Amino acid sequence: MDKRQVLLDLYEAAVHAAHPDGCLPDHLPPVPTGRRLVVVGAGKAAAAMAASAEAHYARLGVLDRVSGCLTPPHGYAAVLPGVRPRHLEILEGSHPAPDAASERAAARAMALAASAGPGDQVLVLLSGGASALWAAPSGIDLATKTRLTRGLLKSGADIHEMNIVRRHLSRIKGGRLAAAASRANRILTLAISDVPGDDPATIGSGPTVPDPSTLAEALAVLERLAPRMAALDLGPPPEVYAALADPSNETPKPGHPTFAAAEYRIIATPRAALDQAAAAARDRGYRVVDLGDAVTGEAREVAAAHARLALEAKARGERTAILSGGELEVTVRNRTGRGGRSQEYALALALAIEGVPGLSAIAADTDGIDGGDGHVTDPAGAICGSGTVAEARARHIDATTCLDNNDARTFFEALGSLVVRGPTHTNVNDFRAILVDPDA
């Protein structure tokens, strides 16, 4: 078998399990009799969710009572396969850091939610990436919010830490979208989870759910990460600390009446995607070692640990597929390096399995974009194997130097080993698979 194709097949199985066309329609609510359904949403899956919802309500003949606006990243609507939404508005924003379009999109979502009256229902379609795509800064301006986001992304913060801070500096996150829709008869959120543990408060920074974290916790996170951010010339300015000391920026907590009419459902998860990939691996004759859908940690350290498992399976002569999901972190040491956490993991893994035949791996983000500036042409991740480092050396490329410089994209680009998929129109976090073929 072509191992590259097997690895790509496993990745596509994981992606397919979480696509809105398969997971959304069965959860879409009826349109209230004689009233409106107001739809708002944001995230990597937003364009596909809009298309799926619009097709569903068109088939039912009730599209005239459905209105709304959804926000995917820039360029996603243009590459959406099939019929693009025409009735539901698409207002794109920036990811991974917000821009002025993200601010306009958040304002539009808040206005639509607030327009819902008694008897109307608000439907919120949420997926990973919404935190950047909806920007409504509170206590700071957009430029400061964008700088803060970039600093957090490069600091090695995990998604839970990042979103604790972001929830407390926003007029839409941390339950405030639900507050804007308080006149509606019902608020239903349908979410595709991209976070370890599937925590609703972390998915998209929880715009429709109570926030159990506090301003004090957000400040503690920021103070811990500030030295790393400052080393990258992205240290938080005084106004960020001032905003996190302002009681008016505290979020609504569990038990708040804002959430009395709010329901939340997770319709696709990293766990389900990993299960589909595991089934595909077993169909190809591999014994599956499932490390779970919530693996976290520094990408290069996790790669070293996974390499040890692969080497042990190889020594035992076991034909094995080692699968994992979750979201890794990268502490940026070189600001000029290119690549995302999946590419960094793949490069560290390639170094750890160098010269051991029969080992190959893929590490890719299920949204189709790993690191970079959020462009639709950015790679999803990379494929590596036992001979990757030697191949690079023959081309006068040093793998260790590239890893030290956080420059995995340059490394894999030179070898033609990037996974360039384009947007998948879903997002259930990172996917990793290591194949161990003892007879190779």
Residue pLDDT tens, the chain, 440 long = 599 999 999 999 999 999 999 999 999 999 999 999 999 999 999 999 999 999 999 999 999 999 999 999 999 999 999 888 999 999 999 999 999 999 999 999 999 999 999 999 999 999 999 999 999 999 999 999 999 999 999 898 899 999 999 999 999 999 999 999 999 999 999 999 999 899 999 999 999 999 999 999 999 999 999 999 999 999 999 999 999 999 999 999 999 999 999 999 999 999 999 999 999 999 999 999 999 999 999 999 999 999 999 999 999 999 999 999 999 999 988 878 999 999 999 999 999 999 999 999 999 999 999 987 789 999 999 999 999 999 999 999 999 999 999 999 999 999 999 999 999 999 999 999 999 999 88
Task: Return d(Cα 188, Cα 39) in angstroms, integer.
Answer: 10
Take residue 99 and report the two structure tokens written for it: 């821009």
Locate tokens 């505290």: which residue? 250
The alpha carbon torsion through 106, 109, 112, 116 (nearest 10 deg) reads: -120
Say if residues 300 and 349 touch (Cβ distance below 8 Å): no
Residue 230: partners with Cβ closer than 8 Å, 6 or more residues away: none
Q: For the residues of 26-61, what is the DSSP string, one character each?
A: GGPPPPPTTS-EEEEEESTTHHHHHHHHHHHHHHHT
Peptide bond into 96 cis (omega under 30): yes
SS3 state of residue 100: helix
| Residue 78 φ/ψ, nearest 5 degrees | -70, -25
Task: Return d(Cα 373, Cα 108) in angstroms, integer.
Answer: 24
Take residue 82 and report the two structure tokens written for it: 């099939």
pLDDT at 255: 95
Q: Which DSSP letter does residue 321 get?
A: E
Q: Which domains does the chain have, with CATH numbers?
A: 20-136+171-213+251-268 (3.40.50.10180), 271-436 (3.40.1480.10)
Q: Which residues pair with 270 in a beta bridge?
A: none
pLDDT at 1: 58
Task: Return d(Cα 184, Cα 291) in angstroms, integer.
Answer: 42
Q: Which residues pair with 127 in a beta bridge?
A: 192
How far is C-alpha 340 from the chain's CA centre?
A: 12
Q: Which DSSP letter does residue 97 get?
A: S
Query: Among candidates 373, 382, 323, which has minimal Cα distance to 347?
Result: 382
- What are the residue ranges of helices labelled H in 92-214? 100-115, 130-133, 142-154, 159-167, 176-180
Q: Is 396 exposed, middle or buried (0-12, 13-18, 19+ CB in 10 A)?
A: exposed
Q: For the residues of 326-382, what is the DSSP string, one character each?
A: E--B---S-TT----HHHHHHHHHHHHTTT-TTEEEEEEETTS--STTS-TTS--EE
Q: Which residues pair with 365 in a beta bridge?
A: 430
Burial profile 44-57: b = 16 or more Cβ within 10 angstroms, e = fewer:
bbbbbbbbbbbbbb
Task: Return d(Cα 420, Cα 293) in angstroms, integer.
Answer: 23
pLDDT at 83: 81
SS3 state of residue 117: coil
SS3 state of residue 95: coil
Residue 302: its H or E element: helix 299-316
Task: Return d(Cα 218, Cα 380) in angstroms, integer.
Answer: 31
Task: Return d(Cα 428, Cα 20) in angstroms, integer.
Answer: 12
End-to-end CA separation in angstroms for the chain:
11
pLDDT at 102: 98
Give the other-Cβ count within 10 Å of 225's Cβ: 21
Say if residues 117 and 31 touch (Cβ distance below 8 Å): no
Say if residues 7 and 323 touch (Cβ distance below 8 Å): no
Long-range contacts, 92-97 (Cβ 8 Å, 24+): 93/42, 93/132, 93/133, 93/134, 93/135, 94/132, 94/133, 94/374, 95/44, 95/129, 95/132, 95/133, 95/374, 96/129, 96/132, 96/149, 96/153, 96/374, 97/132, 97/146, 97/149, 97/150, 97/153
Take residue 198 and report the two structure tokens written for it: 């599937």
Query: Among candidates 90, 61, 45, which has minimal Cα distance to 268?
Result: 45
